[in-house]
Amino acid sequence: MMQGVDLQVLTAVRQWAAEGRRFALVTVARTWGSAPRPPGSWLALREDGLVQGSVSGGCIEDDLIARMRDGRLSGSSPFVRTYGVTKDEAARFGLPCGGTLELVVEPAPDAALLEALAERLARRELVLRDVDVDRGTTFITSAPHDSALAWDGTHLSMVYGPQWRLLIVGAGQVSRYLAQMAQALDYDVTVCEPREEYGLTWDVPGAHLVTTMPDDTLLAMVPDARCAVVALTHDPKLDDMVLLEALRSPVFYVGALGSHLNSARRRERLAQYFDFTEGELARLHGPVGLPIGSHTPPEIAVAILAEMTAVKNGAALPVTRTAAVAHTHHRSACEVP
């Protein structure tokens, strides 16, 4: 899936294409051993040596820049270049012990296809991009679902998706830190705060503040599987409103602030008055966040983002939480406005 740095690459190459500049696009196709960047990572190189993105964060970029400048990255067809095959080469390019990178280099990528990719992502579509090294062809098409990068040595296929989004309900102290940290993890953050006394002091750059009611806000966002919802007001009148919509939507994560006791009462309330099933309520993360003994607003934000990241990446979560940790973790949260 496309991460924030790769979105920056896509933005850069579109600009370069509009300016009529020559550029190459490099994709990490496969790695062995320790590697600084995962498969799917992008690097764009302009004819004058300007770069955007990264495939290693070191000497490999320098080598590719030199090749771009002296014309060795030329032609129109994609090709494969491997770094770190020998120990001497790995040492030369600063790769970790045993690290090897296999790259697909597109010396003249189709600018129209990259523009079409950006347009589809802006419409929040999943897009499959296919590069056939043997045939020298590239195409994009709609993807029915997320899937991992596929590479067989000559054929590269990867699904790209739109930016991840986070809706935070409440503009308190925890929300401030959560909004800042989430942006660092490439989330597009919206903060819903209909209470004027809280919204007036909101000043986190980059986070969109809206004053509509939580349920209306979520519906207006047209939630999808790349969206998370976290309710942090500790006011059932507001938190429950967004949970009613979120738990029956395709969002990948739903969390709500509250003590262990209040979280249990919330589940009872949703089941009794709104007919939520056990399966639907199982999607609700509450007390929200991993039980890491957090006390302060930034620590609680870290716990929330850690749990969101685990869910997004399909990592296993703790099966049980101790009541002591859960109570400590969220009692401090409730005391912070």
pLDDT at 58: 73
Among 138, 160, 182, which residue terminates a domain?
A: 160
What is the share, in percent, of the chain residues with pLDDT greater than 70? 88
Say yes or no: 127 and 187 in one domain. Answer: no
Whether residues 94 and 199 share a domain: the answer is no
pLDDT tens, residue by residue, 37-72: 889 999 999 999 999 999 987 788 999 999 999 989
Name the percent of the chain lying above pLDDT 90. 76
Asked whether residue 235 falls in the same domain as residue 283, the answer is: yes
Give how many domains the chain has, as a whole number.
Answer: 2
CB-hemisphere CA count at 13 Å for 112?
A: 2
Model confidence at 204, in pLDDT bands (50, 70, 90)?
A: very high
What's the pLDDT band for 87 if we cut at 50, 70, 90? low
Instruction: Please check whether residues 101 and 172 belong to one and the same domain.
Output: no
Query: The pTM is what?
Result: 0.82
pLDDT (tens digit, 9 = 90+) per residue, 236-246? 999 999 999 99
**Which of 3-7, 185-189, 196-200, 253-257 shows the lowest per-residue confidence on average (mean pLDDT)?**
3-7
Domain that holds residue 191: 165-334
Q: What are phi and psi of 261, to 5 degrees?
A: -65, -45
**Mean of pLDDT over the chain:** 89
Q: What is the mean pLDDT of residues 250-277?
A: 95
209 and 106 co-located in one domain: no
Report the relative pairing of strands 155-160 and 127-132 from DSSP bridges.
Answer: antiparallel
Asked whether residue 187 falls in the same domain as residue 320, the answer is: yes
* Other beta carbons less than 10 A from residue 278's beta carbon: 8
Interval 186-201 mean pLDDT: 94
Closest alpha carbon to 284 in 297, 267, 309, 299? 267
CATH number, domain with residue 248:
3.40.50.720
- pLDDT at position 290 over 60: yes
Stretch 78-92: mean pLDDT: 75
Q: What is the structure's pLDDT at 316? A: 86
Asked if residue 150 lies in contact with residue 158, where contact means CB atoms within 8 angstroms, the answer is: yes
Instruction: Determine the average pLDDT of the residues in 258-272.
Output: 95
In 3-state terms, what secondary structure has residue 216?
helix
- Give yes or no: residues 193 and 314 share one domain: yes
Q: Quick one: 215 and 311 in the same domain?
A: yes
Q: What are phi and psi of 213, to 5 degrees?
A: -70, 150
pLDDT band for 95, please (50, 70, 90 cuts).
low
289 with 319, same domain: the answer is yes
Same domain assignment for residues 293 and 207? yes
| Amino acid in the structure at residue 240 | D
Instruction: Give the domain-ending residue among 160, 180, 209.
Output: 160
pLDDT tens figures, 3-12: 677 889 999 9
pLDDT of 241: 96
Q: Are 65 and 45 in contact (CB under 8 A)?
A: yes
130 and 180, same domain (yes or no): no
Q: Identify the pLDDT of residue 326.
A: 38
- Segment among 28-37, 121-130, 140-149 with least mean pLDDT: 28-37
Last residue of a domain, one of 135, 160, 185: 160
Comparison of pLDDT for 169 and 60, the residue scoring more: 169
Please check the confidence at residue 1 and state whether its pLDDT lies above 60. Answer: no
Cα 104 to Cα 78, 107, 127, distances in angstroms: 7, 10, 19
Query: Among 260, 257, 264, 209, which residue's Cα sits nearest to residue 235?
Result: 257
Q: Which residue has the tokens 């006011």?
A: 235
- H or E element that contains 192: strand 188-192
CA atoms of 317 and 311, how far apart (whole Å)? 8
Give the confidence band of 336 by pLDDT, cuts at 50, 70, 90: very low
What confidence score (pLDDT) does residue 145 get? Answer: 86
* Mean pLDDT of all residues in 271-284: 95
Cα 268 to its chain centre, rounded Å, is 32
d(CA 337, CA 333): 8
Angle between helices 260-274 and 323-334 (to 10 degrees): 90
Is the domain of 92 the same as that of 105?
yes
Mean pLDDT of 229-251: 96
- Check whether 84 has a pLDDT greater than 60: yes
How far lies 135's CA from each of 77, 108, 130, 154, in Å?
8, 14, 11, 9
